[in-house]
Amino acid sequence: MNAEVEIFSPSEFDLAVAQKILARIGQTLQDAAACHLVLTGGSTPRGIYSQLASQKHEPIDWQRVHFYWGDERVVPPEHADSNFRMAKEALLDHLPIPQENIHRMRGESEPEQAAQEYAEMLGEHFANTLPVFDLILLGVGGDGHTASLFPGTSAVAEKQDWVTPVFVPKLKAWRVTLTLPVIKHAKEILFLISGSSKADIVQQILSLKKPTPQLPASLVQPESGNLIWALDEEAAALLKK
C-alpha cells in the first residue's frame, strides 16, 4: 500500500486532522472557484467536524465550498443513523454554508432512486464527466469496508455507475455509496482512523503486498491524487516502527 501515513496522539488527532482538511480547502480555493469536499459518516469524524466548525483559523470562504457524502444509510435525514444528520449537527449548522452547497444523499428515498438522483446531481456539477473531488474523507470499518463498500457486496466491484445502492447482509440494511471509480479519481483521499479497535485492520491493510476486494479500503488507490492515512497512535499501534 503506497499511502502516506501520519500518526497523531489521541488527544491531538481531531484538531490535527481538522487543520489538514482546512489547509486542503484553503489551497484549493487559492486556485479554483470552488472546493468539492466529500464527507464520511460513522463516529470517528464527529470530533473532527466539531473542530472544523469551531476552528479559529484563517477565514475560509465557505460560500465556495460544496459538501457531498461518500455514503448514506437508507434512513430519513433526521434519523439518528443518518450520516447527513451527524455532519449537520457537528459541522454544517455552525458554518455560513449556503443550503445549495449541501448535497446530501436522500436516504429517505428508495435506495435505487437515491443512487440515481445522486449520480444525476453529480453529472450536473461535473459536466457529465467523472467527478473530480478535491478531497474525499473516508473511514475504515473493522472488516475493511470504506464508505459503504462492504466485503462481498456488488458495490465493491462496480466499475460503471458512480453511485450505487447496496444491501449489506451483516447489517441487514440498505446503503447508498460512491463507487471506486469516483473515489479513485479524487485529487486527495484522506482516511481518518482512530482507536485501538482499528489497530488490527490498519495493520492488515497497510501491510498488504497488493490490494484485495476482501478488504475494500485497500482498493482505494488514487489514479493520480494523494492518499493519506491519518491515524491516532492507538490505531497505529501494530504498525512496524
- Count of chain residues binding ligand 6PG (CB under 6 A): 14
Should residue 165 be labelled a site residue for ligand 6PG when binding is judged by CB under 6 A? no
CA–CA dist 143, 150 (Å, integer): 8
CA–CA dist 175, 107 (Å, integer): 8
Should residue 168 be labelled a site residue for ligand 6PG when binding is judged by CB under 6 A? no
Stretch binding ligand 6PG (CB under 6 A), from 53-61, 88-96, 104-112, 142-150: 142-150
CA–CA dist 183, 227 (Å, integer): 11
Should residue 40 be labelled a site residue for ligand 6PG when binding is judged by CB under 6 A? yes
What's the one-letter identity of residue 216? P
Return the residue of 26, 42, 211, 222 that touches ligand 6PG, per CB under 6 A: 42
CB atoms inside a 10 Å sphere around CB 204: 16
3-state DSSP: the chain helix, strand, coil percent, rounded to 5? 35, 20, 40
Should residue 188 be labelled a site residue for ligand 6PG when binding is judged by CB under 6 A? no
Minimum distance between the CB of residue 104 and ligand 6PG, rounded to whole angstroms?
A: 13
Stretch binding ligand 6PG (CB under 6 A), from 100-108, 133-141, 182-190, 206-214: 133-141
Instruction: Show the CA angle centred on residue 23, arms to residues 183 and 222, nearest 5°.
Output: 20
CA–CA dist 181, 219 (Å, integer): 10
Contact string (CB under 6 A) for ligand 6PG, positions 58-77, x = contact: ------------xx------
- Using Cβ positions, the residue closest to ligand 6PG within the complex turns out to be 139
Should residue 113 be labelled a site residue for ligand 6PG when binding is judged by CB under 6 A? no
CB 35 within 8 A of CB 135: yes
**Site for ligand 6PG, rule CB under 6 A:** 40-44, 70-71, 83, 139-141, 145-147
